[in-house]
Amino acid sequence: MTEIRVTDLYSEPYGSTGNLGDNFLRLLGAPSIDNFQTVIRESVQNIADAALPGKGPGILVRLRALTKSQHEFLKQSVLAQVPECEASRIDIARSLSRNVLNVLEICDFNTTGLTGPTRADRIPIGTKATQFLDFLRNIGTAPEIEGGGGTYGFGKAALYRSSCCSTILVDTLPHEGAGEERRFMVSHVGESYSKPSSGMEHKFTGRHWWGVRHEDGVVEPVTGVDAESIASALGMPEREDARKQSGTSIMILDMDLQDSCVDDVGNRICEALLWNFWPRLMNDTPEESRFNLRVEINGVEINVPEPERFPPLELYCKAMRAIRNRSDSVKSIECLRPRKFLGSLAIEKGFRAKRVYPSHEDSVIPETSFHIALMRPVQLVVKYLQSHALPSDGMEWAGVFVADDEPEVESAFAESEPPAHDDWAPQSLPKGSRRTYVNVALRRLREHGLKVASIGGVPGPSGHSGPSLAEAAGAMGAVLDRGSPIVGGPGPRPPSSSGTGRRRKSKRATASTPKFVRLCEVDGRKAAEFALEVKQDAENSGEFLNLRAAIVADKPLSTREMEALHQPSIESIYYEDQGVKVEGDRFNLKGRGGRFIVRVMIPEDYAIQLNAEVIKEGRE
């Protein structure tokens, strides 16, 4: 056990001209998302702003319980002194007395770290890097990053709110070339209080820091080898190389799990990361922007799904890829007075797929997507603009709007954002062209969303009007069941047409209209399964079940487009009553009837229509 003791506590007194006091947690307003989401969102936005050029930042988010030795070291060495304020003393003591002390750590690597001066009253002339002050001393200071997405004050408030004792521990290693050592400091925000002295009431703001006391009484961070020893004793990530491991670890002490079990918290962390940062997690995101992400729960690494395989984000990823590739399908959003290109919009439709994580009360993932993801050129999601759902419950759509990077346009959207960066509020801008840009963009996006939802007749491959895309989807309340076999229960069995379980004879042998059951994958390709019923006539004359699949598109497809597509094909037919499976598009009935499951290989981004016919021998 290290012998380092961090026993110096500094409680901030009111200045002669006043201070913000304990109200700073409320000054920045309430975000539109819950505090847990805000912590993840704001912290990772600030990490994006702190990234070094050339390679995306490494990000580790982990929830863990302190070991007995770490817990003891925290209590006896780091927080040996506690504030005089009774409320703060009680809160910290309650947390330190827990049998299991959970902490949430948000750590970044290959970033700048918290560089610059450590005291707000002593800043050398010409200093530009003030990250340490902005995060641990000042309130509400935004990083001076062009196009940045985070605000230190708002994100910091969320960190303290998430701690049951409003306390965070910060370990930072500035990047090589900053000329600064490892730094460690603890910060707590509690209630303002006062104590009598020499006939006067001395007031304190409620802000407290633990570190090393200097001659004037102010506490500054522990530095160098001592900071490294403390961080190591608390189990925080190792950082020995300022070239590769520069960055910051923030430990939220006694994380408020909001009555969630640890496993649920892991899912919520993954949800928050994916929902807010999928553009930076896509496989085709450039290396200098892509996040290298890890999530751990009590030492076990959690697999964070690829956004391309995480419904409904797979649709948003397709839309984003269209914008990045400048596809012909991308729509320009423009303002006419004054004339200005505002940004690009792409929209993708698809079958509604089963969500990866079970829905819960606080889930940010909508059960059905009919939203447009709004973002500035930095490609961090600001907000999902809700629009209108498609007519079929089995279909959903996703839009992506990226504002243009022209300075006047970019600044208009940036300045319309509240401190949480979770909305575009044009009413907050002064009257003029910038307010007009944001208003027009939002109005145009709502109009496009309404058009998407108003789906009419959809031309089929032949160019003739066919059923709508929504109708073609039918009951595709899609269960995306990757690689599941046909044999062994492909889905819920529809009720018998007679209602008694006995099959009545028809005047002629027929096949019912195929009903969609679910989506699945076969050798990495998407497939759809349909159920149908064959009924024989009195002579059992039906000899063969013939099946044919065709593409249903939003518009007539050219010959070249048709040739470029993977045409739908019948992969297999499963006769459920007798457990017989055959490959291909024809099944020899031999006079039998019953329920059949048909698996069809389908092209990406297109609905299909499946036709079934019972024929007599010799007839094609």
Q: Give CB contacts under 8 A, 24+ apart, made by 278-282.
A: 278/307, 278/310, 278/313, 278/316, 278/317, 278/381, 279/320, 279/375, 279/379, 279/380, 279/381, 280/48, 280/56, 280/379, 280/380, 281/306, 281/307, 282/307, 282/308, 282/317, 282/320, 282/321
550: enclosing H helix or E strand: strand 544-552
Please compute, for residue 276, the number of CA atoms within 13 A of its CA located in the half-sphere on the CB side. 27
Provide the 3-class DSSP secondary structure of residue 512: coil
Q: How many CB atoms lie within 10 A of CB 287?
A: 9
In one letter, which amino acid is 265? V
Q: How far apart are CA 191 and CA 23, in angstroms?
A: 8
The SS3 of residue 505 is: coil
The answer to whether residues 541 and 587 belong to one domain is yes
Structure tokens at 142: 């935004």
Residues 441 and 482 in one domain: no
Bond into 338 cis (ω within 30): yes
Reduced to 3 states, what is the DSSP secondary structure of residue 329? coil
Taking a C-beta distance cutoff of 8 angstroms, is the pair 154, 58 a contact? no
Strand partners, 588: 544
Number of domains present in the structure of the chain: 3
| End residue of a domain, out of 413, 432, 454 | 454
What would you report as the CA-atom Rg of the chain, rounded to the nearest whole angstrom?
30
Q: Of 288, 295, 290, whose CA–CA distance to 273 is shortest? A: 295
Indicate if the alpha-carbon torsion angle 28, 34, 39, 44 is positive or negative: negative
The reply to whether 296 falls in a domain is no
Question: How far apart, in whole angstroms, are the C-alpha atoms of residue 597 and residue 590?
Answer: 17
| pLDDT of the residue at 488 | 33
Three-state DSSP at 94 gives helix
| 332 vs 433: CA distance, rounded Å | 18
Q: Are 118 and 221 in contact (CB under 8 A)?
A: yes
Residue 263 is predicted with a pLDDT of: 75
Backbone φ, ψ for residue 339 (5° rounding)? -70, 125
pLDDT for 243: 72
**436: region left, alpha or beta (phi > 0 left; psi from -120 to 50 alpha):** alpha
CA-based max dimension of the chain: 111
Question: Which tokens sit at 166?
Answer: 């409003």
Cβ-proximal residues to 7 (8 Å cutoff; 6+ apart), any chain: 77, 80, 81
Check residue 140 and give its pLDDT. 53
Place of tokens 């797979």: 314
Query: CA-to-CA distance for 482 and 477, rounded, in angstroms?
Result: 15
Same domain, 41 and 120: yes
510 in any annotated domain: yes
Specify the 3-state DSSP secondary structure of 523.
coil
Would residue 460 count as lying in a domain? no
On whether residue 276 sits in a domain, the answer given is no
Quick one: pLDDT at residue 201?
86
Angle between helices 35-50 and 152-162 (to 10 degrees): 140
Are 330 and 345 within 8 A, CB to CB?
Answer: yes
pTM of the full structure: 0.74
Range of the domain at 342: 313-454
Q: Tell me which residue of 277, 230, 308, 372 sits closest to 37, measured CA to CA.
A: 277
Looking at the structure, do residues 441 and 548 belong to the same domain, yes or no? no
**Is residue 388 one of the residues assigned to a domain?**
yes
Give the domain-ending residue among 416, 433, 454.
454
Instruction: Return the closest-CA partner of residue 278 out of 304, 246, 249, 250.
Output: 304
Residues 382 and 435 in one domain: yes
Q: Are 168 and 209 in contact (CB under 8 A)?
A: no
* Burial environment of residue 587 by CB neighbours within 10 A (0 to 12, 13 to 18, 19 or more): buried
Same domain flag for 409 and 364 = yes
Domain end: 454, 478, 513, which one? 454
Residue 537, in any domain of the structure: yes
> Which residues, including other chains, have CB under 8 Å from residue 79's CB and lie 6 or more apart?
92, 96, 186, 210
What's the rounded Cα separation, in Å, for the pair 594 and 577? 6
Question: What is residue 506's predicted lDDT score, i.e. its pLDDT?
Answer: 55
| In a domain? residue 6 | no
Residue 268 placed within a domain: no
Co-location of 421 and 504 in the same domain? no
The pLDDT score that the predictor gives to residue 261 is 81
Tell me how long the chain is. Answer: 620
Same-domain pairing of 397 and 489: no
Structure tokens at 322: 């269209």
In one-letter notation, the amino acid at residue 102 is: N
Tell me if the bond preceding 196 is cis, omega within 30° of 0: no
Residues 87, 174: one domain?
yes
Contact 180, 225 (CB under 8 A): no
Are both 374 and 403 inside the same structural domain?
Answer: yes
Place of tokens 């902490």: 103
Alpha helix (H) ranges present in 51-189? 68-73, 86-96, 131-136, 152-162
- Specify the pLDDT at position 585: 93
pLDDT at 522: 85
From the first residue on, what is the mean pLDDT of each consecutive set of 10 residues in the chain (620 residues)?
A: 66 74 53 73 91 92 97 95 94 97 96 91 86 83 48 69 95 86 94 85 91 89 94 93 86 90 85 96 94 95 93 95 94 95 95 75 86 96 93 86 97 90 92 96 95 55 35 36 35 39 62 85 85 91 90 58 70 93 94 94 76 73
Kindly report the backbone phi and psi dihedral angles of residue 85, in degrees, each rounded to the nearest multiple of 5, phi listed first.
-60, 125
Do 437 and 503 lie in one domain? The reply is: no
Tell me, yes or no, whether 92 and 165 share the same domain.
yes
